Chains A and B, each alone.
Chain A
Amino acid sequence: MKIKHGYILRNVASETIVVPTQEAAINFNGILTLNESGKLLWERLSQGATEAELLEMLMEHYDVQEKEAQSDIELFLDKLRAHHILEDA
């Protein structure tokens, strides 16, 4: 899966946000705010990644149990799906 075209990641006032542009801005009239792991997941998903690859990446970066990392990924993906931001890679 992959982030759809038209979303930009920016750092503003020490916060990481995602802003929709062009056609994406017509369908999603808001912003996403990301924490550190959310930013990592977003950057990886921008290039396309499977859930297994995301899990492996989080486990590499953080001292976290597999179950907890999996749950974080699911929550994050649910958030993106709710805004129709993901597409098949």
Chain B
Amino acid sequence: MKNTYLIGHIALQLSYVYDDFFASRIVPFQKDVIPDHFMEVSIESALVRPTFPVTMTYRDKTIYETKDMHYIVKTNASEAVTHLISYTPDYRKVTIQLSANIGERLPEVEYLLTGMMFFEMAIRRQMIPFHASAISYLDEAILFSAPSQTGKSTQADLWQKNLSEVQFINDDKPVIFLDHDVLHVSGTPWSGKTPRTNALVKPVKCILFLEQAPQNELIPLSNQDKLTHFFRNIHRPREEALIDEVLKSLELMIREVPIFLFQCRKDQEAFEYLYHALYRGDHL
């Protein structure tokens, strides 16, 4: 499947193999645009390591970098290459070669690796991938962020069940970015376990970092705590220049966007508490 997609402000030409994960997630992003980023996936019977000197190794991955191309090689326990990713240093062109030996996990691996590489593209275009469930209500976005299993989707679900106007923007990894100094969120085709994502871009009303608790409470956060929560939940770059870009954006977000710790239950009371706080000014 080869098509062009508009995701946030990235015009991506993506050629992928399996529809298992993409079919229900990528169609809303399909758009007739001139691509400025390219990604292609192929399945290979045999993969060979590059012959250049190794730049860096970590865990089961080896990185090779030349002036024009970078490579990530992943091997299995028998040292056989399971995938080889080649990309230009600016991440504009990415090729993902998967070993056929991966077998039945090929669709999932394809989905995860295309997501990983898209997030690297995004961060270079000043969009920060954010681990959150993002919903749209009254033309604004509410973002529930937390580590996995905390209940992001549960809170988003409660809002959708109670308010028919609520739409999912993305249930796992939207991208956030500043547009004329206003924080916006966009859906992406990578939405974790659920296919709940849409090609929506909305200004952000507030960000809620979640913690499970027996009683609901919205707690103001210090700037220090906001930064700690952000860094736990963003896809962060490793390059110093890109980190500085992200920090510049975070500084503005911290100043302009209401950000709270929401200690919450996983039931109707949590929705009611938060709804009254955000739209009637209670509890704040």
Which residues from chain A sit less than 8 Å from chain B, CB to CB?
A: 8, 10, 12-15, 17, 19, 21-23, 25-26, 30-31, 33
Contacts and interface: CB of A to CB of B under 8 A. Distances in A.
26 contacts: A8-B243, A10-B243, A10-B247, A12-B223, A12-B247, A12-B250, A12-B254, A13-B223, A13-B226, A13-B250, A13-B251, A13-B255, A15-B224, A19-B231, A19-B243, A19-B247, A21-B243, A22-B240, A23-B56, A25-B236, A26-B58, A26-B238, A30-B228, A30-B231, A30-B232, A31-B231
A21 B240 CA distance: 6
Contacts of B104: none
A14 B255 CA distance: 11
Interface in B201-239: 223-224, 226-228, 231-232, 236, 238-239
Contacts of B244: 10
Contacts of A26: 58, 238
B238 A25 contact: yes
A74 to B, nearest CB: 22
Interface string B237-281: 011100110010011001100000000000000000000000000
Nearest to A27: B58
Nearest to A14: B223
B59 to A, nearest CB: 8
B232 A13 contact: no
Q: Is the interface of B mostly helix, strand, loop or mixed?
A: helix
Contacts of B228: 30-31, 33
A45 B244 CA distance: 22
Nearest to A34: B224
Contacts of A30: 228, 231-232
B227 A17 contact: yes
B240 A12 contact: no
Given A12-B250, A19-B247, A31-B227, 19 more contacts: A8-B243, A10-B247, A13-B251, A13-B254, A13-B255, A14-B223, A15-B223, A15-B224, A17-B227, A21-B238, A22-B238, A22-B239, A22-B240, A25-B236, A25-B238, A30-B231, A30-B232, A31-B231, A33-B227
A17 B229 CA distance: 13
Contacts of B224: 15, 33
B236 A12 contact: no
Contact of B240 (A8, A13, A15, A17): A8
A30 B58 CA distance: 17
A15 B255 CA distance: 13
Contacts of B247: 10, 12, 19
A15 B251 CA distance: 10
Top 3 A-B residue pairs of the complex, sorted by shortest distance between their CB atoms:
A13-B223, A25-B238, A13-B254
